[in-house]
Amino acid sequence: MSYLHGKKDIDGSLVVEDKVHYQVHQGNAYMAHHNSSALGTGATINIYLKAPASGRVHLNYDAHGSSSFDIEVLEAPTVTSGTGTQGSVYNRDRDSVNTSGVLDNTATPVANKVTLDATITADGTIIRSDVYGSNKSQGDLNSREEIILAQDTVYVFRLTSQASNNRVHINLDWYEV
């Protein structure tokens, strides 16, 4: 679906852009990431976020590894409060002052932040699980289909290395309306 952006262009032509591009221009698109330069076999990294109680989060993610890895998207997992490290959320329009409504895992949750490597005690519902790179020297996932997160719900994006000394990365990209 495309949206009309602004007025007609200087030459009188109609300017149309896709919905994600439109949300970036409106200052409603955000990104966060997490990586490890040498993740061991069976070791994990994860990104925790809690969707806001109002508005909708439309999210895409991608993951990369120098060797094979598994990736899971957990919905409503049990996570120990206050664990992990606070991570940054960036507006994709670098001049926008808008902030994200997603919340981190601190004892008093903070908006416009995620948590890296929160302690998960129960997985909740695994809504997506994929294996990458098992038959080749590296793994690469690009989720082109957006997930619309349930409001006021916790999500964890967990990557598990299947090789030693694995350089891995998780990227989250979303917009909020």
Q: Which amino acid is at 28?
A: N
Q: In degrees to the nearest 10, what's the CA dihedral of 63, 66, 67, 72?
A: -10
Give whole-number Cα distances, 123 to 40, 87, 159, in Å.
Answer: 21, 21, 13
* Residue (of 30, 56, 41) closest to 133 by Cα position: 41
Q: How far apart are CA 38 and CA 167, in angstroms?
A: 5
Give whole-number Cα distances, 11 to 6, 7, 8, 18, 21, in Å.
Answer: 14, 11, 8, 21, 21
Q: Which CATH architecture describes the domain 31-176? A: Sandwich (2.60)
Strands (E), 13-68: 16-18, 29-39, 44-50, 57-65
3, 23 contact by CB (below 8 A):
no
Return the pLDDT at 16: 80
Q: What is the pLDDT confidence band of residue 162, given thresholds at 50, 70 and 90?
A: very high
Q: What is the pTM of this model?
A: 0.89
In tens, the pLDDT along 58-77 reads: 999 999 999 999 999 999 99
In tens, the pLDDT along 107-149 reads: 999 999 999 999 999 999 999 999 887 544 444 555 568 999 9
